[in-house]
Amino acid sequence: MSKHIAVVGLGSMGGAMATALHRAGWQVHGHDPSPAARSAAEKEGVHTVDSLDQLASTPYVVLSLPSASVVEATVPTLLTRPGTLAIVDTTTSQPATSAACASLAAEKGVAFVDAPVSGGRAGAVAGRLTAFVGATADALDVARPVLDALTDGQYRHLGDPGSGNVVKLLNNVLAAVNLVSVGEALAVAKAYGVDPAAAAAGISGASGGSKVSAAMYPDWVLTGTYDSGFALGLMARDAALAVETAAQRGEAPQLLAAASNRWQEALAALGPGADFTEIARTVAPSLTAEGTAAA
């Protein structure tokens, strides 16, 4: 099996994945339009190139890009020369984009897998991300070495191309709902004189518990650190995309839509660069020392 791989997009997640692959023995080439991102990757042992077309014909390619539109612009360039076996797209993209890219790649004899990931930068560095996979069975078989390297086997094949992005968007919008609801609940606890941290611990051991109550609020909100590393603008985008994706199939999830609106309000108040856990500033200001204003 070839151990040559390219990573397109060397930001927080892509750079971490490139570094992990290099440490795992892959020969990694990378590209990013940002000179700073390329320089950071070079320091970790990743060989970078200045233009995307230099990566065409690399046997395996991982995409870690900011949006579906960038994926659409990137994939045709990677398919201009023969030699690529599989493209694994870890971007939180859109189902129709993934299906179109899979079809385009198949015409060239290349496997395309949508595999948006969860686990943050820490999971990427450790090679232990969780991936939501959409692909044909044949494409999955070709891409399996890359998926194994990125996730240590923690991925689930959910269906045809695009399925991975459907479920990843649903995962993120459920987290978005929970960040709103847990914040509101802990604010009620505080109003009754109950320590929010104690309330979160109690809830987390019972039926209302979740990763949000067990870790996100205790670690990032109640401590005032807000340093998860995931931007509020990205979560607001993903929540809106989940509702939009539902509408494309005639579904109208009212609770998900209401939560998405709360994220748009937080985006307007705090800006896209705020940490996503700072949603607490707008939905539960009594929990934060600074109220609704970013620190």
The H or E element that residue 65 is part of is none
Distance, CA of 49 to CA of 186 (rounded, Å): 49
* Contact of 62 with 111, CB cutoff 8 Å: no
Pick 165-287's CATH classification: 3.40.50.300, 3.30.9.100, 1.10.1040.10, 1.10.167.10. Answer: 1.10.1040.10
List the domain boundaries for the chain: 4-160, 165-287
CATH class of 4-160: alpha beta
| 168 classed as catalytic | yes
Q: Give me the catalytic one of 3, 168, 190, 211.
A: 168
Q: What tens-digit pLDDT sequence spans the chain (295 residues)?
A: 789 999 999 999 999 999 999 999 999 999 999 999 999 999 999 999 999 999 999 999 999 999 999 999 999 999 999 999 999 999 999 999 999 999 999 999 999 999 999 988 889 999 999 999 999 999 999 999 999 999 999 999 999 999 999 999 999 999 999 999 999 999 999 999 999 999 999 999 999 999 999 999 999 999 999 999 899 999 999 999 999 999 999 999 999 999 999 999 999 999 999 999 999 999 999 998 654 433 3
* Contact of 28 with 20, CB cutoff 8 Å: no
Other CB atoms within 10 Å distance of the CB of residue 120: 15
Backbone φ and ψ of 30, nearest 5°? -140, 160
What type of residue sits at position 284?
A
DSSP string for residues in 76-125:
HHHTSSTT--EEEE-S---HHHHHHHHHHHHHTT-EEEE--EESHHHHHH
Q: List Cβ neighbours of 204 (8 Å cut-off, separation of 6 or more).
A: 210, 213, 214
* Contact of 115 with 147, CB cutoff 8 Å: yes
Q: List Cβ neighbours of 254 (8 Å cut-off, separation of 6 or more).
A: none
Q: List Cβ neighbours of 72 (8 Å cut-off, separation of 6 or more).
A: 97, 100, 101
